Structure 1
Amino acid sequence: MNTASIRSRVMGAAVCVLMLQACGGSRSVNGLKETIERFSEMPEYSIILDDMKVEGNFVKTYLHRYRVYYAVKIPGQTEDVQFLDIKTELLEVPEDVYKRHEPDLGMVIAMKTSDGRTTTTPQPAGYQYVGNPRYGQWQTNSSGETFWSFYGKYALLRDAFDVFDRPFKRKYYNNYHNNYYKNKTPYYGSGKVKTYGTYGTRTQKTRPNFYQRAQQRQAQKKSSFSKKVADRTYGRSVTRSSNTTRTSTSRSTTSRTSRSRMSSSRSRGFSRGGK
């Protein structure tokens, strides 16, 4: 079976699960779990949180979109693999899964490495391939800094991830691998200011549409809240005005009634005095 046939078969199966409506199936309530299960038989994969959103006001639906990079074996070769990628539709996930990964936009949230290990600890996209001699090697530049360089046949990996928009230095990899990966701790960068994830400086530059949409949603919430406050204020104002009018009318009626009674009393007194 050639590479095109492998890609067609894998993508067809993936689309059937990840694009459920097109395949006529019921909608998944845990898109992340379904995606992991779909690619579990692949030699290697990384599932990146490509987008996320919440729909609905009273009854909320939590949605994820994933970008999956996965390896397939090359026919006739026992060791080498080829990497392919696929982007899913927005898939429904449970609320707890959504909130757990709110800080992880643009990061790998599930992966399987070439040695068969799996993890769901968030990490920057592409980190799992760095340091693996199968895919590239460390080189030293003229300044004496060591950086990672992918082999030409893995250009997809080199070009795919935001982390590789400049030479990836070994000192950052060592910090990640020794202090975070081994301890199964999410890694958002080495400085005080986060580089990766939803609140990372690089993510904000590479995914501006997500933040624009978030700002619009926040503005809509503020507008809706302001309208509710205005409606309540207007309602109280109308109620006070109505009460004031009724009170004023009541006082006016009482005053007229009192004056009428006094006038009648005086008239009867004058009448009795003249007899």
Structure 2
Amino acid sequence: MRRIVGVLSLIFLISCSSQETFKKTPVDQFIIDMSDVKNFTVLLHDMDAEEHMFTANEYRHQYKIITMGADSVPQSKVTEWYPVSESFFNLHSGDIGMEIASKVDGKVSKQVSPPGYSGYVGNTRYGQWRTNPSTGTSFWEFYGRYAMFRSIFGMGYYGPIYRSSYYDYRRHYSSGRNYYGGSSGSPRYGSYSSGATKSNPSFSRRMSSNSSFKSTVNNSVSRSPARSAAGSKSTGYKSTSSRYGSGSSSRSRSSSSGGK
């Protein structure tokens, strides 16, 4: 009997400790605050980190939130800087410019996706696939009234969205894997892509001029709990180059793996 009481006490203490240490992320709070919003997208707009010798390191995020306003006119705003935990910073250190949360027709997901992919690219409500007659390649084109999506999501920095790449993304999404595009070591999206460099010059400058910040980001990428996709050329998250390839597992990141 004494042993049973001891085990129950230990379980209670662990439970209380977990409750005390749990803290909602800014993204969690956004989702709560926009519970009555049917469609939204949260992009990781920027991040920063300061290392301190005698005090705790500081980690910060800045987000871009995109919603549909009156008459289906897209609206966006860049938030203030928010303090985040080291673990949350590590989790998304490679995701500059990426969607890290979205809500599509009332369904919330935290799976990382390229900007605009979760609810707008491939959605015939907003655009259509067009074929280049000279090359035969199919690419995504927004209808005129939604052409501003390319600017709002920063899609122009990443080049055309080809149908083959989108279908590759959908295969990764359906199996819970993040999609960064490109070949192994050369991502098309995310913190190490040329698109992120162009779309966020301040982040790019910090990465090139601040060796401490660059080291923090690189180390965070290598410590990410995600794993490489089975069967891909990527070997895991042991280096910044190996993080990227056709995709990476994100089951632990996503609250929903449903599609459109």
Specify the TM-score bucket, using the shorter chain as the normaliser: 0.5 to 0.7
Is the Cα contact below 8 Å between 1:43 and 1:72 reproduced in 2? no
Q: How many residue pairs are counted as aligned between the two chains?
A: 187
Is the Cα contact below 8 Å between 1:49 and 1:107 reproduced in 2? yes
One-letter identity of the residue aligned with 1:61:
E
Distance 1:60 1:37 in 2: 28
Determine if the alignment matches structure 1 residue 59 to structure 2 residue 56.
yes
One-letter identity of the residue aligned with 1:175:
D
Alignment of 1:32-43 (within 5 A): 32-43=27-38
Aligned counterpart, 2:124: 133
Aligned counterpart, 1:68: 65
Distance 2:154 2:33 in 1: 25
Alignment of 1:87-166 (within 5 A): 87-113=78-104, 115-128=105-118, 129-143=120-134, 144-165=136-157, 166=159
Determine if the alignment matches structure 1 residue 200 to structure 2 residue 190.
no
Alpha-carbon deviations, 1:173-201, whole Å to 9, x = none?
A: 111112x1111211111422111111223
**Displacement of 1:116 after TM fit?**
2.3
Decide whether aligned partners of structure 1 residues 136 and 220 sit closer, same or farther in structure 2, where only a CA change above 3 A counts: closer
**Displacement of 1:36 after TM fit?**
2.2
Distance 1:82 1:127 in 2: 18
Aligned counterpart, 1:175: 168
3-state secondary structure, aligned to 1:50: strand
* Structure 2 unaligned spans of 5+: 1-22, 216-260
Distance 2:156 2:194 in 1: 15
* Structure 1 unaligned spans of 5+: 1-27, 75-80, 223-275
Distance 1:137 1:29 in 2: 38
Distance 1:167 1:218 in 2: 33
Alpha-carbon deviations, 1:24-52, whole Å to 9, x = none?
A: xxxx9732222222223212111000011
3-state secondary structure, aligned to 2:124: coil
Aligned counterpart, 1:239: none
Determine if the alignment matches structure 1 residue 209 to structure 2 residue 202.
yes
**Displacement of 1:56 after TM fit?**
5.0
Report percent identity of matched pairs. 34
Give the alignment's Cα RMSD to 1 decimal. 2.3
Q: TM-score, normalised by structure 2?
A: 0.65
Distance 1:170 1:84 in 2: 26
Aligned counterpart, 1:83: 74
**Displacement of 1:126 after TM fit?**
1.3
